[in-house]
Structure 1
Amino acid sequence: MIRGTDATGREVHESTKTTHKATAEGLRVKKEGGLLIEAVHGKKAVVTFDQAVESYLDNGGSDRFLGKFDTATGAYNGLMGHLNGVPLRKITQSDMNTIGKKLYPKVQSDTLNRQLWTPFIAVWRHAVAMEWADLRMWIRPKIPKGTTVVRTRPERAGTKPVEYSVAWEFVRKMSPGPASLMTALFYTGMRPIEMFALSSQMVNVPDRWITLNHSKIGEPRGVPLHEFLVPLFTPLVERGGILFLSRLGTPYPIDDGESGQMKTAIIGAQRRSGHRHVAPYTARHTTSTQLVIEGVHPHIKDQILGHAVDSMSRRYTNVPQAPMIAAINKLPVIEAWSQAPWMTDPIGHLTKFVAGTGRRTDLIKQSR
C-alpha cells in the first residue's frame, strides 16, 4: 500500500497490488517519482496514452480500433498494444508511422486512416482538451498524386456524397421508421451512432438546436436543426425518450457503431432504389459537400460536423448559434420529401412498411 501526501498536498492511498516486498517498494518509488514530476511539470509530463484512452471512453468516445485486452496473453492488442503505458509527450510522428506499418502492413491509405489515425487523433484531441497534451499537426497518409494504382475492389457504400434528389429517391424506398432516421442524417450531418442515441432532452426544437454532450471524439458539441426537420422532430420530442426507434418500438441496437436492424433497411432500400452506394454515412458526406457548394465558410461547416471544437465552442455547446442555423438552412429541400406522410406523423407510421416489404403474402396458399 502506498500512503502519504504528494507535492501538491493531495493525499495518496493506493494499493501496489502485490505482496512481494521488493516489487512493492519499486512501484512505490516509481509512483512517488511520477507524482514529483507531475507536481513540477504538470499533467502533460506524466499522462500516458492508456490513461487518455480511459478518460476518452468515460466521456463517450468509441473504443473502435483502439485495441482490446487479450485475457489469454494478459496484454492489449492493436493500437493499445503499442502505446499502453507510453507517456503522451513521448509519442512522435515516427512512432505512429512505425506502428501503422506493423499493424496494417498491406492496407490502402484510407483503411490506415480509418483504423489507425482516426481513433488515435480522437484520443489525442481529448487529451488536448483535458490539457494533458499539446495540439499537434499529425500527418496522415495520402494517396500519391499521379498514382496509377487502380482499386481492385468496389468502393464501400457511404464513402461519397450524392445529390439530394438521389437521397430522396433512396429514402422514399425505405419504411417510415428508418426513412425518418435517414432524413435526420441528411439534414444534420450527424454521425449515425450519434443519431441512434439522440434523445428528446438533447433537442430544442423552438430554437433549432441539438446539444450532444458526448460526441465521437469525446467532446460536447452543438448541432443546428434545419427548419425542414421541425415537423418530423416535434412529435418525436414530445413523445420523449430516444427519438428514432425501430418498428418494434425499441432503440436500434448498436454493435461497433452500427445497427443490424438499420443495416437490413439500408440493404433493402439499396436494392429497391438501385442506389447501392448509399449508406448512413453518405448523409454526412452529402451534408458536408452541399454546405461547401452553398458557400458556407469552412469554419462554420466544420463546427456543424463536429470537426472544429475549441475551448470557446465547448463552453457554449448548449447555446444556439445563429450562423450555424443559417448555414444548415441552406441545404436544399425537396417538396415531395417534405410531403411524405411520416414527416408530420412519424409515430403513427412507425410500424408501417414501404410498398414491397413486410409480411409475405405471395406464399399464402389460396383456397380453391
Structure 2
Amino acid sequence: MPLKLIQRGEVWYIRGTVGAGKESRAVYETTRLRDKKLAAQYRRKREAEIVRDMLEPRTFADAAKAHGERGGSLRFVDRLSKHFGKRDLSSIRQVDLEAAGRAIYPDCSRETVNRQVFTPFIAVWNCASINQWVPVRKWQRPRKPKGTRIIRAQPTRAGSKPTTYDQAAKFVEAMSPAAGMLMTFLFYTGMRPIEAFMLEATDVNVPGRWVSLSHTKTGEPRGVPMHEFLVPLLEALVGRGGRVFRTQRGLPYEEKDEGGGQMKSAILGARRRSKVPGISPYTARHTVSTQLVVNGVHPHIKDQILGHAVDDMSRHYTNVPQKPLIEAINTLPVSDSWRALEWWEDPIKATKKLAKGTGKRTDLKK
C-alpha cells in the first residue's frame, strides 16, 4: 500500500510500502511533526527519497563519505571502501562482513579484525541508518571460540594490557613534559589516543569537568568526564587556545588513518629510562577500564566513560548523567610522585623542555 499518515498521540507517522514485489520497501517511521500539513509534505519528500534510493542504491562509499562529513573517524574505513567498492549498501549481510574481515586481515587475531573491520563498518552503517538509507541492524562481532582451554602462545602487543598507576607514574616521570602531559591526560580520562591528539580547547569545559568529543571512533559524539587531578593542567593548556596537546616543538599531532607513530620516540625513550616495558598510549585506556572495575564502578557507567560500542540493547537506552560519571572517574588513584612532577608549576613553559637526563652534551666533560 502507498505511504499514509498515521497519528500516534500528537505525532504523525508514515507507514506503507514503496514499490512492488522483491523491489518493494516497507516503511514505518516517525515524522517527528505534530502539524498534519507539514507531516504530509514530509511524507511526499520521504517517498521521493525512497524511490530515488531504489533506482540509484546507496553504496558503501556513499555511506563512508557521509560518515566522514558527520565527523566520524575514517581510520581503517579506506580499506573497507576498497573491499566493498560501489556495492549497494543494503545488499551487505553478516556473511559479507565476515568475509571482508578474512580478506583484509587473513592472518590477524579476532581482536584486530573486530577493531579494524567490524567497528569502522558498524560506525559507517549506523551513519547510513541515521540518514534512513538502510534499516538499523545488529551486527554480530567476532567471538572467542568456545569449547577449548588451549592457550596459544603469541607475542604480547604493547599497550594491550593495563598497568598499575604506580608504574604509570614512574613511566610518565621519565618522559619529556609535553609527552608526559598527554599521557597523564590519557591515564585520567581513558580516552582513545587519537581522540586526545585531535582535542581542541573549545572541546574542554574545565569548570564543568567535562570533555565533549564530536570526532570519535564510532562516529557518535560523546562526553568524557575529567578527573579533578587534571584541572590545573587543562586550565593552562586550554588557556592558550587551539589544539590542547602539542609536541615538544609546539606542533599539533597529525591524524593518521593507520594510527600509531605520533609518540614513538617519546614512548621508546621513556621505556628505556624508566625500565617499565610494554607501555604505549593505549595502555592508559586499558588501565582506566581495569581500575574502574576494581573500584566497583557499574559496567554501564564504565562503558559510557570509555565510549565503548554497545551490543547489549539495554545499554542503548542507558544515558548516565554527568555527575555519576565524574564521581566514577575521580576514583582513579593519584600517587604523590605524580603530583610532585615539576611541570605542574608551569605546564606551558615546561612543554619545550626535554626529559631529565637527555639533550645534554657530556662529551666535553673531563
Is TM more than 0.5 here? Answer: yes
- The aligned counterpart of 2:48 is 39
**Aligned 1:1-368 pairs, distance under 5 A:** 39=48, 41=50, 46-67=57-78, 78-145=79-146, 146-152=148-154, 154-256=155-257, 258=259, 260-307=261-308, 321-359=322-360, 361-364=361-364
Identity level (%): 50
In 1, Cα distance between the equivalents of 2:81 and 2:331? 42
Distance 1:37 1:283, change over 3 A: same
Q: How far apart, in 1, do the equivalents of 2:292 and 2:299 lie? A: 9
> Amino acid of the residue matched to residue 39 of structure 1?
A
Q: Determine the C-alpha separation between the residues in 2 that align with 1:149 and 1:38.
A: 55
The unaligned stretches of length 5 or more in structure 1 are 1-6, 8-32, 68-77
Give 1:121 shift. 1.9
Whole-angstrom CA distance in 1 between matches of 2:53 and 2:306: 29
Count of residues in Structure 1 that have an aligned counterpart in Structure 2: 318
Q: Which amino acid aligns with 1:138?
A: W
Deviations 1:134-157 (A, max 9, x none): 3333222233242425234x2111
Say whether the 8 Å CA contact 1:44–1:133 is kept in structure 2. Answer: no
Output the CA distance in 2 between the equivalents of 1:320 and 1:120. Answer: 29
- Shift, 1:161, TM fit: 1.1
Is residue 252–residue 259 contact of structure 1 (8 Å, CA) maintained in 2? no
User: Structure 2 regions of 5+ residues with no counterpart?
Assistant: 4-23, 26-43
CA contact (8 A) 1:93 1:139 kept: yes
Which residue in 2 is equivalent to 1:20?
none
Q: Secondary structure at the match of 2:263?
A: helix
Secondary structure of 1:150's partner? coil
Q: Is the 8 A contact 1:43 1:131 kept in 2?
A: no
For residue 223 of structure 2, give the secondary structure of its aligned residue in structure 1.
strand
Q: What per-residue deviation string (whole Å, max 9, x for no partner) do you get for residues 61-107 of structure 1? A: 3333323xxxxxxxxxx422332333333211111122223333333
Question: Which letter does structure 1 place at the counterpart of 2:48?
Answer: A
Q: CA deviation at 1:292?
A: 1.5
How big is each residue's C-alpha offset from its partner over 1:200-254, in whole Å with a ceiling of 9 and x where there is no partner?
A: 1111111111111221222211111111100111111112111111111121234
Give how far 1:126 is off.
2.6
Matched position secondary structure for 2:231: helix
Q: Using a 3 Å threshold, how does the CA distance of structure 1 residues 44 and 155 change in structure 2: closer, same or farther? A: farther
Q: When the two structures are superposed, what TM-score results if normalisation uses the length of structure 1?
A: 0.77
Q: Distance in 2 between matches of 1:328 and 1:42?
A: 49
Partner Cα separation in structure 2 for residue 353 and residue 251 of structure 1: 17
Give distance in 2, aligned partners of 1:43 and 1:155.
Answer: 50
- Structure 2 contact 119–218 (Cα < 8 Å) conserved: no
Look up the SS of the partner of 1:348 in the other structure.
helix
Give secondary structure in 2 for the equivalent of 1:158: coil
Amino acid at match of 2:60: F
Superimposed CA distance per residue, residues 155-194 of structure 1 (whole angstroms, 9 cap, x where no aligned partner) = 1111111111111111111011100000000001111111
Shift of 1:336: 1.8
**Is contact 2:210–2:224 with CA below 8 Å preserved after alignment?**
yes
